[in-house]
């Protein structure tokens, strides 16, 4: 398991404060007292008290590599520094004799409880942060579940949602409806010339234009990269074909403004009517085959790839 140290460089002041506390404790101890001989040192106490100091330094290190700068990080760091100062003075007691009149016990006892108060307040604020983050994550997960079927570019439903609706309508007895697919001609050429952001903007405008030319009960989804699929309940094949042709005519007259030009597009379309005893995949297969046939016919006709007009 690897650790990231990228946040550590964001805490120069906290690092300096930590080093300053350690230096202050060492300088204060040796400036007031005198060193003990090896025979006087209680090594078991050294291990216990020194271990506490070492663990405090480790906590400080993990804190600074785990959090960005802020109020919580500052409170926890200062609290740990105060606790570290007291524990370090306590550990240095094992190596140094202090005069009776020294005020070192005061320096040793006061910072620790003050640091614990600061750490308690910092942990409370950290707890509040986590509650807020968890609430945001729950809302985000809810949004993802709610909009799992929505295409992020066009804000239309995705193809899988259309498949569910087609399957549902096919399961109903005597449910007449038609499904159509419209394909933007030479969309790849447009993307190469103007870039994908403009291609996404074109898709959004196409989606809005299609929605303006269908009925309220019709369903429009994004089928693939440059294709849209429509389900039109209670329409005969003839009426559905007329509605799709109206969409194609509206697109043909749409002057899409980009790069100081108005770009005109055309659509290749296909429409099929639901059959009894047919499943969703069979219906979509018929639709796609018909679309490919229409595209073959359109490629053979003298049709311009893209039509441009100056602004």
Report pLDDT digits (tens) over 50-93: 899 999 999 999 998 888 888 889 999 999 999 999 999 888 88
Percent pLDDT > 70 in the chain is 87
Domain boundary among 146, 167, 185: 146
Please tell me the distance from the alpha carbon of residue 232 to that of residue 287, in angstroms, as a whole number. 14
CA 155 to the chain's CA centroid = 18
Burial class of residue 87 in the structure, from the number of CB atoms within 10 Å of its CB (0-12 exposed, 13-18 middle, 19+ buried): buried
Please check whether residue 251 lies inside any domain of the structure. Answer: yes
The yes-or-no verdict on residue 39 having pLDDT over 80 is yes
Sign of the CA dihedral running 249, 250, 251, 255: positive
Please check whether residue 2 lies inside any domain of the structure. Answer: no
Tell me the average pLDDT across 168-180: 86
40: CB partners within 8 A, 6+ apart: none
Percent pLDDT > 90 in the chain is 42
Q: What is the pLDDT of residue 201?
A: 92
Domain residues for 210?
Answer: 159-310
Are 169 and 305 in the same domain?
Answer: yes
Are 176 and 136 in the same domain?
Answer: no
Q: What is the pLDDT of residue 311?
A: 44
The pTM for the full model equals: 0.53
Are 306 and 163 in the same domain?
Answer: yes
Total number of domains in the chain: 2
Are 167 and 303 in the same domain?
Answer: yes
Least confident of 231-235, 269-273, 300-304: 300-304
Q: What is the pLDDT of residue 23?
A: 93
User: 145-160 burial, b for 16+ CB within 10 Å, e for fewer?
Assistant: eeeeebbeebebbbbe
Domain boundary among 146, 169, 189: 146
Please tell me the distance from the alpha carbon of residue 225 to that of residue 188, in angstroms, as a whole number. 10
Comparison of pLDDT for 283 and 10, the residue scoring more? 283
* Closest-CA residue to 252 (of 220, 298, 292): 298
Q: What is the pLDDT of residue 304?
A: 43
Comparison of pLDDT for 282 and 173, the residue scoring more? 282
Question: Are 230 and 218 within 8 A, CB to CB?
Answer: yes
């Amino acid at each position: 398991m690897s650790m990231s140290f990228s946040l550590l460089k964001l805490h120069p002041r906290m690092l300096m404060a930590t080093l300053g506390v350690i230096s202050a404790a060492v300088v204060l101890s040796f400036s007031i007292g005198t060193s003990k001989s090896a025979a006087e040192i209680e090594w078991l106490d050294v291990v216990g008290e020194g271990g506490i100091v070492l663990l405090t330094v480790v906590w400080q290190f993990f804190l600074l590599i785990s959090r960005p700068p802020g109020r919580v990080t500052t409170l926890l760091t200062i609290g740990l520094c105060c606790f570290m100062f007291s524990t370090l003075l306590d550990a240095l007691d094992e190596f140094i004799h202090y005069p009776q009149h020294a005020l070192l016990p005061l320096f040793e006892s006061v910072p620790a409880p003050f640091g614990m108060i600061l750490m308690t307040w910092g942990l409370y604020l950290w707890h509040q942060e986590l509650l807020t983050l968890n609430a945001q994550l729950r809302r985000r997960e809810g949004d993802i579940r709610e909009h799992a079927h929505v295409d992020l570019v066009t804000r239309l439903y995705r193809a899988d949602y259309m498949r569910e609706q087609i399957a549902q309508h096919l399961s109903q007895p005597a449910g007449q409806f038609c499904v159509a697919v419209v394909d933007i001609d030479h969309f790849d050429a447009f993307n190469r010339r103007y870039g994908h952001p403009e291609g996404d903007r074109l898709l959004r405008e196409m989606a809005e234009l299609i929605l303006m030319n269908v009925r309220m009960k019709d369903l429009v989804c994004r089928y693939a990269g440059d294709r849209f699929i429509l389900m039109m309940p209670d329409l005969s094949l003839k009426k559905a074909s007329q509605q799709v042709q109206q969409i194609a005519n509206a697109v043909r007259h749409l002057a899409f403004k980009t790069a100081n030009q108005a770009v005109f597009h055309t659509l290749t379309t296909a429409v099929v009517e639901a059959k009894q005893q047919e499943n969703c995949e069979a219906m979509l297969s018929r639709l796609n085959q018909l679309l490919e046939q229409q595209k073959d016919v359109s490629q053979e006709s003298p049709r311009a790839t893209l039509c441009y007009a100056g602004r």
